[in-house]
């Protein structure tokens, strides 16, 4: 059996990846400190798959815990998702973000070096591109992150690239996600933001269940057809399948030693906030109150991936559209109005 370690595997994206790895015949070990997740996500994953992941509780900054993890499990490759991801919090608490995201990642890579584990997939973000003027965004587009969160992602990309560049037998991959949304079709696992939801899908979902009064649409004076900002939303199950393809690739003869390809994971299609709102109303079958408010600081007009490299290198292409993203996110939220709690 080939065993994949998912750090942060109990979180929103990690739980879907863990599920998809199990369904693809991999064994999975999840390492998570539950800073932003619940054990229940892993219990649910076990319920809806044939296999069950092993769960190890620990912090990626804890070198001894990582050593014990690699000493007691034969790991073939790592998908490194653990970390902090709130842009606003990263501006308020930069030291915390650099510690968890950067120092935590180097601790993980040191443990991999010590234990001879030589394949890593790193969860990066399209936010590393900052505010590019040319759309769609290619992997060769210049990086210019504008907040500490984005800077930590770019730093870890560079650290992993350098380690992979000289490590004997090392092969790695950086995946830059656009806007992951939706949930597994079972409605058993999904996004469960603790506190106030910053992002569009979880916010609309909470309006739909009545937890929040209305959606605030941040600005309708953008230079887009309907005036609202456009993003490249990607179904979390498509994203999960992209990770399985990345692992398949790294463990195959196709991958080159000492290389760390960078790959965008998006659909290549953009939707405006108003289009997303309309698709949600269709998925729910009722009106979702919304109001136009001022623009949100730091938002860009349009963010859209050129997703062709993923298809060429990995044979992966997103297949799920906006309607499925809304239907699946709604199924999860409706069945679990308070998330996992
Ligand atoms: P999430 O918060 O749901 O998952 C992150 C997981 O890491 C959580 O389970 C959390 O408990 C765990 N974690 C945090 N600090 C840890 C630590 N010190 N030690 C061990 N575990 C720790 O977030 P997500 O949306 O699933 O994101 C997963 C990864 O994808 C993150 O690295 C994030 O930066 C990246 N990403 C997310 C998005 C997005 O929009 N959700 C976009 C681009 C990239
Ligand atoms: N929006 C609203 N109302 C809301 C929430 C969002 O109108 O209540 C709008 C935003 O203004 C934006 C769009 O919906 O135009 C999408 O917003 P999200 O917050 O869902 O996503 P972003 O594209 O702003 O942010 C995401 C990730 C960040 C990452 C960024 C760039 O959440 O972590 O992409 O890659 F930094």
Give the per-residue pLDDT at 87: 92
CATH T-level fold of 3-180+233-265: Rossmann fold (3.40.50)
Task: Express each pLDDT in 137-175 by its tens digit.
Answer: 999 999 999 999 999 999 999 999 999 999 999 999 999
Give the per-residue pLDDT at 187: 98
**298 confidence band (pLDDT: 50, 70, 90):** confident
Give the per-residue pLDDT at 281: 98
State if residue 60 touches ligand 1 by the CB under 6 angstroms criterion: yes
d(CA 312, CA 272): 28
Rg (CA), the chain: 19
Give the per-residue pLDDT at 194: 85
Ligand nearest to the CA of 197: 2
Give the per-residue pLDDT at 50: 79
Residue 249 appears among annotated catalytic residues: no
Ligand 2: centre distance to CA 205 (Å): 14
Domain ranges of the chain: 3-180+233-265, 200-231+268-335
Ligand 2: centre distance to CA 86 (Å): 11
Asked whether the predicted pLDDT for residue 126 surpasses 90, the reply is yes
State if residue 39 touches ligand 1 by the CB under 6 angstroms criterion: no
**Cis ω for the linkage preceding 30 (within 30 of 0):** no
Average pLDDT, integer, range 291-311: 96
Task: Express each pLDDT in 188-227 by its tens digit.
Answer: 999 999 888 989 999 999 999 999 999 999 999 999 999 9
Give the per-residue pLDDT at 195: 85
State if residue 182 touches ligand 1 by the CB under 6 angstroms criterion: no
Q: Is 200-231+268-335 a domain of CATH 3.40.50.12280?
A: no
CA torsion sign for 213, 215, 219, 225 is negative
Pick the catalytic residue from 97, 129, 149, 303: 149
State if residue 125 touches ligand 2 by the CB under 6 angstroms criterion: yes
Average pLDDT, integer, range 271-282: 98
Give the per-residue pLDDT at 314: 98
d(CA 262, CA 220): 34
Residue with the two structure tokens 């699946």 = 328
Give the per-residue pLDDT at 51: 86
Percentage of the chain exceeding pLDDT 70:
100
User: Does the predicted TM-score (pTM) go above 0.95?
Assistant: yes
Quickly count: other Cβ atoms within 10 Å of residue 236's Cβ: 27
Torsion on CA atoms 84, 169, 30, 325, rounded to nearest 10: 60
Ligand 2: centre distance to CA 199 (Å): 5
| Residue with the larger pLDDT of the pair 341 and 120 | 120
**133 confidence band (pLDDT: 50, 70, 90):** confident
On whether the CB atoms of residues 9 and 37 are closer than 8 A, the answer is: no
Average pLDDT, integer, range 73-88: 97
d(CA 78, CA 131): 30
């Amino acid at each position: 059996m080939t065993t994949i370690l998912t750090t942060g595997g109990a979180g929103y994206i990690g739980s879907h990846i863990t599920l998809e790895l199990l369904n693809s015949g991999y064994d999975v070990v999840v390492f998570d400190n539950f800073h932003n997740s619940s054990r229940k996500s892993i219990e649910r994953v076990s319920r809806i798959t044939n296999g069950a992941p092993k769960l190890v509780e620990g912090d990626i900054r804890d070198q001894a815990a990582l050593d014990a993890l690699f000493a007691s499990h034969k790991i073939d490759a790592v998908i490194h998702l653990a970390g902090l991801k709130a842009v606003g919090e990263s501006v308020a608490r930069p030291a915390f973000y650099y510690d968890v995201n950067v120092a935590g990642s180097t601790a993980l890579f040191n443990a991999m070096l010590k234990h001879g584990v030589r394949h890593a997939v790193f969860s990066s973000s399209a936010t590393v591109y900052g505010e590019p003027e040319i759309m769609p965004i290619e992997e060769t587009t210049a990086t210019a992150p504008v907040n500490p969160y984005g800077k930590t992602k770019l730093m870890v990309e560079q650290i992993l690239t350098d380690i992979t560049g000289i490590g004997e037998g090392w092969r790695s991959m950086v995946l830059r996600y656009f806007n992951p949304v939706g949930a597994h079709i079972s409605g058993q696992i999904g996004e469960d933001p603790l506190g106030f939801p910053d992002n569009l899908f979880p916010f609309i979902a909470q309006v739909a269940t009545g937890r929040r009064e209305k959606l605030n649409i941040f600005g309708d004076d953008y230079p887009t057809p309907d005036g609202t900002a456009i993003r490249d939303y990607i179904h979390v199950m498509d994203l999960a399948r992209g990770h399985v393809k990345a692992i398949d690739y790294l463990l195959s003869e196709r991958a080159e030693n000492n290389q760390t390809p960078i790959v965008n994971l998006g659909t290549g299609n953009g939707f405006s906030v108003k289009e997303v709102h309309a698709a949600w109303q269709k998925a729910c079958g009722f009106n979702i109150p919304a109001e136009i408010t001022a623009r949100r600081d730091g938002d860009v007009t349009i963010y859209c991936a050129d997703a062709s490299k993923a298809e060429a290198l990995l044979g992966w292409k997103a297949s799920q559209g906006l309607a499925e993203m809304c239907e699946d996110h709604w199924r999860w939220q409706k069945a679990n109005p308070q998330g996992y709690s």
